[in-house]
Structure 1
Amino acid sequence: MDITLPEEGGRSARYQLVGQPVQPVIGGRFSRLAYAAAHVVADPLAMTDPWSRPVVDWGKTMEFRHHLWRLGFRIAEAMDTSQRGMGFDWASAKELIRRSIAEARTVEGADLASGAGTDHLAVSAARSIDDVIAAYEEQFAFIEGQGGKAIMMASRALAAVAKGPDDYARVYDRILSQASGKVILHWLGDMFDPALKGYWGSHDFDAALDTVVAIIERHAVKVEGIKISLLDAGKEIALRNRLPEGVVMFTGDDFNYPELIAGDGRKHSHALLGIFDAIAPVANAALVKLAAGDRAGYDALMAPTVPLSRKIFEAPTEYYKAGIVFMAWLNGHQHHFSMIGGMQSARGIRHYADIFRLADRAGLLADPDLAVARMKNLYAVAGV
């Protein structure tokens, strides 16, 4: 099977599909905690204005969560993969969290944690650290009131008003001391959100590392783990090596995740990844092999997903959500390629062609005939 795809320089060339769809292992055992940060499915027929308040296709959104649970993944809900802070507001996130927690109760063994941030507090309206604390408290109260577990997301408002590391410590000390259950922390780099530059009160990694480690050490009984998303394996390992006993590392490194999850024989990372949304069938099969002690089999499956992930998360990295939703559309998880805020327009047509090729090579086109048909429709609209 082949298809004509655009290349650099305005040329087009025939591409021969080479991949064989990888079959996941339903009911397989993982030796790592594996959270997939899940996207939301927009309802394009209900959105009279795509830039207005988001309209979600709740049925398809919940169906996708069942797809991830069926493959053995935990779900990180209402995170940046769901376009939090990029068109998906707190009012919509509350409804998503409420529905997902309720849905998880219908699935044996389903696990879910939800993002608690301060995004209902406009950065321009944040005047003090107390404003940030109050915003976090509101979101924690909602999630915990639903019986959910919270992921403490990085805060744009905190980054804007904090004058140094002590202000970060004050906020995190307050929220963690009040949390009813264990919390996952999230260190999100500015490549994902430029407004978070200098998080933890310093532009120097080592100084920031000291700040976050000190916070975790003070609250180790309340911290399940920390997800770090800096796209730098060395920085993740530096933090991993300093975590207190019982606090786990969740890799958020969508560039280097296979080696970090596999570990170095002494320590390893667990996973909380946006790319797992797109590569779930292959990641499932690979994690089952890793749990069985088959490192070579794990590497063979995971390695082809890395070029795909690096393409999806290439700069400007914050637009990676478009590639995630594109993959869901190619694989039939939704009937359209529309996103909240029209975010599908954030990437160019050659970018999507590259994703198609790399997804094929990684065995991630579940139904090649469907994927080719949808690509042809996309390129016809683009005038290719």
Structure 2
Amino acid sequence: MMLLKSIPLLGWILVAIVLGILLGPVMPTWLGSVFLTYNSIFSGFLGFIVPLVIFGLVTPAIAELGKGAGKWLGITAAIAYGSTLFAGLLAYFVSRWLFTASLFGQGLAEIEEGEGSGFSAYVSLVNSAQGSATEIVLPPLLDVMTALVLAFIIGVGITAFHSKVIFRGAVEFRSIIEAVIRRIIVPALPLFIFGIFLELSASGAAITIITKFLLVAVVSFALTLVVLLIQFTVAGAMNKENPLKALWNMRDAYFTALGTSSSAATIPVTLASTKKNKVSDAVAGFVVPLCATIHLSGSMVKITCFSIAVVLLSGGDVSFVSYLPFILMLGVMMVAAPGVPGGAIAAASGLLVQMLGFGDVEVGLMFAAYIALDSFGTATNVTGDGALAMIMNKLTRGNLGAQAQDPADEEVQSVNGSTENHGLAQ
């Protein structure tokens, strides 16, 4: 039992994928339908909880940023968001250029629930207003965009009116949502992904999908390196430092993050590596912990690349006009991503469903692909924090002092622990 508990989430995901592919062609129809029933129930629950996830994570994230005194916190947040958006846009244009010809309509368009595999769910948990005798209706309290707008309104309102009671309630509600993700959604993912690949394998599409996704994985990894080179080129130019040397100085943080898959657990190493690039203690101590939560350029690259691949495989529209709103909203969700393995993709799944029209199969593929490359995204995130620290060191001339945060703000101090936890395992 202890041995099973020691297996990381990635290990369970890989086992689920392999077993799904191997068992799909030989699985009895009745048993395959049982797993498809599980997937339908899990997907329906996910559709119900995602708007609450968005509201519960974004509201305190905005309030915490707003409560920080001093202009430098706002400037750091703006630069982090800009860097994350740039990473998403770069991933979009490269992915569209490389993947359109090879992936468009190559395997998912015909894979719907029960089609091609011979399996069908006995009972479905649906989010629509109407359901049949074999469907249980569980409509969400809010839709995704309503939850996001409401989170902005309340988050900004908490800051404007200094509402300590609502702020504390928002932070505690975030703890509940993170517990749901950590204790229900994440443990349920391997079986969900097993069902997805079981269905794909039974329909004959699994090998095609995996082959295509290997190309996407290689491209997304290469793009994370390109993003780091660009970030350190900008930081090096501003500080008149060799960007390659500055990037090399961050190697300990990169490889530590590969092992821990945790931005927060890597903070001490990231701080030490950042100071090697002549960043003052004051700036490093402020920027690195903050950016561990809000600067997720590596995660942005992964989700953008794989989402475009899935849309193309489904024969969908990846035009810039249709995709830009998704990237803008995804940047916000990356700021609020919860601190558990797979938390970022769980938070983004609502946008994938509502803005890109993803179904059960597409969402399952996104979870599997994201978690498989989780450590590389985290390594990119924390290494890029060093570049942002160099930029802020130049802008502040190495001295943030008391401008960054008002020590008298007890509410901000009281959530420091939760914000650190909030930045885990991006």
TM-score range, shorter chain: under 0.3
TM-score (norm 2): 0.22
Q: Which has the higher contact order (CA 8 A, sep 6+)?
A: 2
Higher gyration radius (CA): 2
* The structure with more helix, counted as a fraction of residues: 2
TM-score (norm 1): 0.24
